[in-house]
């Protein structure tokens, strides 16, 4: 800990536009409110540190932070949510698994755990993500292809067979049918001897961005948000270690938005969930500590870093000043980052390794809590094992070789980065103003209105088209696509999925349909539909009953469709 012996005095030209004076209110319990640096120093020293020298490769000792207040861990958290940032704990290096049948993925999970991993991250196939069974007519060709197929509790039990769910953290990327999958996970855990209160993990469950960008919606927005708040209420009461929603800008950006739009739409969705949960009777501090975010890291380095810093600042201010949160953890925006899949090129794909490196570094310098690096071959197909390994190695180079983890918010205080942060916030504010106007003062209503009148999809389509035209016209250079195109050998090996996955999954589903008790299934589905008709009832218990009766995901979805209806987006092109 020799690096802490020589604390630097705050630099004379502190970053401007930092409303440091506001800090006092956020931390009424702090005895050091008169001196942010002393407070930071105390908290920094109290935090545990990784066992590694915090110095340059030439041996120069380093402080935990440089520059002025507000420091990392201090409101409004522009510089990071923890005083010691990566000195205490590196970001989580998260990798997806999920392909083929549940048993195939189970093998992959167990390999990851044997290699020392503690977190599992599960991707589902398209039919599962759309709330449909593997034998749905539109599922043909998509079963087990882009993730694992889950139809009934039996698949979920296969997926986590011989894994103790109370000792791992599981991340599940699913939205429309999140409640169904969560119910399956809970029943699986209980049957294998784990208790609800010990389950830890994250479910994406961010339905609003589906209408805006990813398009994996099932029901209309309002009943869908009710499902989200049902899950928030349920986990708040029974699974205190679970993150019931991961508010995701990633897909908004992938659909073509600008960085500022990603920032603004995502935070607006976050505010909308807060308003919905409060309207459902929860106290903001009861659930806000369990909210987390998921951002994209695109290739414009400084713009991305400004985006992350602005996100933390805006969230802290809104949570405190508008939604009255008092717990500091409610004000701290925690986020996962994934590098931009859309920035990867099919031409000269090896060059993507360089893009991903730059994007990963932006996420780290922007203070992310966890990171997924894309594999270089993802513009061609699902990643091969080798490509996925290179992606992980990229993060490890970042963590252990570059020194990027030594100092918190190393770019804070740069006039450019501070300006970019302010600019991101300013642009986001104009979006919030528009949504408030649309919603008559409510962000939630504004988001509903913006979904219905095509505001979000229109803005995103405009931005995507503008970008594409610039590339087409050669005003924007994409290496290997519209410049420096020589040398594309086209010999990148790609991954093929075995074609028998679908057959195996269908046989399994048919077997369960034959063997289960049909009366039990029908009764549980009937209750689900009845409960759905009463907005005051939390649907989670009914989902859990359906799961126990071996009702399939598609059957539960259909039962709800009868009550909620379905959604088709307005044709905004």
Partner 1 sequence: MPNRRWCEELTEHPLRIVLAKLGFDGHDRGIKVVARMLRDVGFEVIYLGLRQSTDTVLAAAEQEDADAVGLSIHNGGHMTLAPRMVNTLREAGVGIPVVVGGIVPAVDVPLLLEEGVAAVLGPGASAAEVGETIRSAVEAARADVD
Partner 2 sequence: MTREPAELFKAACGGDRRATGRLLSLVERGGADGDLVAQIAWPKTGGAHVVGVTGAPGVGKSTLVDRMAAAAIAEGGRVAILAVDPSSPLTGGAILGDRVRMNSALGAPAGKSPFIRSMASRGQSGGLALAALGAVRVLDAVGHDPIIVETVGTGQVEVDVVNAADTVVVAVSPGWGDAVQANKAGLLELADVFAVNKSDRPGAADARRDLELMLDLGDHPDWRPPIVETTATAGEGVEALWKHVCSHRLHLLETHSLEARRGGRAAEEVRRHLHNRIDGLIARPSEQVRQLIREVTEGLRPPSEAAQTILRSQPPGDSP
Q: Give the binding site for partner 2 (CB under 8 A).
A: 220, 453, 565, 568-573
Q: From the list partner 1, partner 2, none, pick the one residue 570 interacts with, judged by a Cβ distance below 5 to 8 Å according to partner type.
A: partner 2
Single out the residue of 253, 244, 250, 307 nearest to residue 276, CA to CA.
244
- Does residue 254 touch partner 1 according to CB under 8 A? yes
Single out the residue of 75, 53, 56, 129 nearest to residue 98, CA to CA.
129
Closer CB to partner 2, residue 358 or residue 461?
Answer: 461
323-342: contacts with partner 1 (CB under 8 A)? 342
Q: What's the burial of 128, exposed, middle or buried (CB within 10 Å: 0-12/13-18/19+)?
A: buried
- Does residue 48 touch partner 1 according to CB under 8 A? no
Q: Which long-range contacts (CB under 8 A, 24 or more apart) does 58-61 make?
A: 61/2, 61/3, 61/5, 61/6
Binds partner 1 by CB under 8 A, chosen from 26, 120, 130, 388: 130
488-517: contacts with partner 1 (CB under 8 A)? 490, 494, 497
- Does residue 482 touch partner 1 according to CB under 8 A? yes
Binds partner 1 by CB under 8 A, chosen from 39, 132, 290, 313: 132
Rounded to 10 degrees, what is the CA torsion of 283, 289, 290, 292? 120
DSSP 346-386: SSSGGGHHHHHHHHHHHHHHTT-SEEEPPPTTTTTSSPPHH
Nearest distance, CB of residue 255 and partner 1, angstroms? 5
Strand, helix or coil at 70?
coil
- Residue 562 CB coordination number (10 Å): 12
Q: From the list partner 1, partner 2, none, pick the one residue 220 interacts with, judged by a Cβ distance below 5 to 8 Å according to partner type.
A: partner 2
Binds partner 1 by CB under 8 A, chosen from 471, 506, 521, 563: 471
- 83, 47 in Cβ contact below 8 A? yes
- Does residue 569 touch partner 1 according to CB under 8 A? yes
- Does residue 73 touch partner 1 according to CB under 8 A? no
Closer CB to partner 1, residue 468 or residue 530?
Answer: 468
Strand, helix or coil at 132?
coil
Nearest distance, CB of residue 563 and partner 2, angstroms? 12
Q: From the list partner 1, partner 2, none, pick the one residue 565 interacts with, judged by a Cβ distance below 5 to 8 Å according to partner type.
A: partner 2
- Residue 410 CB coordination number (10 Å): 21
- Tokens standing for 141? 């060709």
**CA 168, 172, 175 angle in degrees (round to 5)?**
155
d(CA 224, CA 127): 18
- Does residue 347 touch partner 1 according to CB under 8 A? yes
Closer CB to partner 2, residue 291 or residue 443?
Answer: 443
Nearest distance, CB of residue 452 and partner 2, angstroms? 9
Give the residues lining the site for partner 1 (CB under 8 A). 126-127, 129-130, 132, 137-142, 145-146, 214-216, 254-256, 342, 345-347, 379-382, 460-461, 464-465, 468-469, 471-472, 478, 481-482, 490, 494, 497, 568-569, 571, 573
């Amino acid at each position: 800990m020799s690096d802490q012996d020589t604390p630097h005095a705050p630099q004379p030209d502190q970053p401007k536009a930092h409303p440091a004076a506001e800090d006092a209110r956020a931390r009424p319990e702090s005895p050091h409110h008169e001196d942010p640096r002393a407070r930071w120093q105390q908290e920094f020293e109290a935090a545990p540190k990784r066992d590694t020298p915090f110095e340059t490769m030439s041996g120069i000792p380093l402080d935990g932070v440089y520059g002025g207040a507000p420091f990392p861990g201090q409101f409004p958290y522009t510089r990071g949510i923890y005083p010691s940032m990566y000195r205490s704990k590196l970001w989580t290096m998260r990798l997806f698994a999920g392909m083929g049948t549940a048993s195939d993925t189970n093998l992959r999970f167990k390999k990851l755990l044997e290699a020392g991993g503690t977190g599992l991250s599960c991707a589902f196939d398209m039919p599962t993500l759309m709330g449909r069974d593997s034998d749905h007519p539109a599922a043909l060709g998509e079963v087990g292809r882009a993730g694992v197929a889950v139809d009934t509790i039996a698949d979920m039990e296969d997926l986590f067979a011989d894994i103790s769910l109370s000792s791992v953290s599981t991340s599940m990327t699913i939205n429309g049918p999140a409640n169904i999958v969560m119910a399956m996970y809970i029943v699986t855990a209980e049957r294998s001897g784990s208790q609800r209160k010990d389950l830890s993990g994250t479910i994406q469950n961010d339905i609003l961005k589906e209408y805006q960008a990813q398009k994996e919606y099932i029901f209309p927005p309002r009943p869908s948000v009710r499902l989200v708040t049902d899950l928030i209420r349920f986990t708040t009461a029974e699974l205190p270690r679970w993150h019931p929603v991961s508010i995701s800008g990633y897909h908004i950006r992938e659909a073509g938005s600008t960085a500022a739009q990603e920032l603004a739409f995502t935070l607006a969705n976050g505010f909308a969930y807060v308003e919905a949960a409060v309207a459902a009777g929860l106290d903001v501090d009861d659930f806000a500590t369990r909210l987390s975010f998921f951002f994209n890291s695109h290739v414009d380095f400084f713009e991305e870093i400004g985006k992350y810093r602005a996100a933390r600042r805006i969230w802290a201010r809104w949570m405190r000043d508008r939604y009255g949160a008092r717990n500091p953890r409610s004000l701290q925006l925690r986020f996962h980052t994934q590098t931009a899949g859309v920035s990867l090129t099919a031409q000269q794909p090896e060059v993507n390794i360089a893009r991903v490196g730059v994007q990963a570094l932006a996420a780290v310098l922007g203070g992310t809590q966890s990171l997924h690096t894309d594999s270089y071959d993802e513009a061609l197909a699902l990643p091969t094992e080798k490509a996925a390994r290179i992606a992980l190695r990229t993060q490890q180079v970042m963590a252990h070789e570059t020194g990027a983890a030594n100092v918190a918010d190393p770019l804070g205080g740069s006039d450019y980065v501070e300006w970019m942060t302010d600019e991101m916030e300013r642009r986001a504010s104009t979006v919030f103003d528009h949504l408030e106007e649309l919603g008559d003062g409510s962000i939630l209503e504004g988001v509903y209105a913006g979904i219905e009148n095509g505001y979000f999809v229109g803005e995103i389509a405009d931005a995507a088209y503008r970008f594409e035209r610039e590339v087409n016209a050669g005003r924007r250079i994409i290496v290997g696509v519209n410049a420096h195109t020589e040398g594309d050998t086209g010999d990148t090996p790609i991954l093929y999925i075995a074609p028998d996955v679908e057959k195996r999954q269908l046989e399994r589903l048919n077997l369960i349909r034959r063997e289960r008790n049909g009366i039990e299934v029908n009764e549980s589905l009937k209750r689900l539909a009845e409960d759905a008709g009463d907005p005051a009832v939390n649907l989670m218990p009914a989902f859990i009953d359906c799961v126990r009766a071996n009702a399939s995901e598609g059957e539960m979805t259909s039962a709800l469709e009868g009550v909620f209806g379905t959604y088709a987006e307005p044709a905004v092109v």
